[in-house]
Amino acid sequence: MKVNIKAALLSAFVLPGLGQLHKGDRAKGIVMIVLVNVFLLVALFLVMQGLGPIFLSVQLSGTAGAAKALEHIQDKTPGAKWLLTVFFGLWLYGVIDAAKGKEEKDDPQDQH
């Protein structure tokens, strides 16, 4: 399997930035992995912060509709949408960057 194909698959299905590490571009790979993790953690924090009042109302009243929960999340956490959009953009960039590159040789590990 070509190095670029393997790198693109690693970035697409395992972790964005891992393909860059596999190709030997350590700095870009590490920066991408750190950025992806930061964006996901902050988005998760914002969504969980928005879910707090919903969990409290369920505990107090015993019911909460899915539509009400979704509406509350959308109203209270607009930043999470932007962070997830940036994450998906970074993911797409990582896959495309890993797929194209200077190396067009076969992976030496596949020769065995």
Give residue 2's identity as a one-letter amino acid code.
K
Tokens of 28: 């870009």
Mean pLDDT by groups of 10 residues along the chain of 112 residues: 91 93 94 93 83 72 67 74 86 93 56 54
pLDDT (0 to 100) of residue 1 = 79
How far apart are the C-alpha atoms of 10 and 110, rounded to whole Å? 16
Question: Tens digit of pLDDT for each residue in 17-42?
Answer: 999 999 999 999 999 999 999 988 98
Domain boundaries along the sequence of the chain: 3-103
pLDDT (0 to 100) of residue 32 = 95
pLDDT (0 to 100) of residue 66 = 67
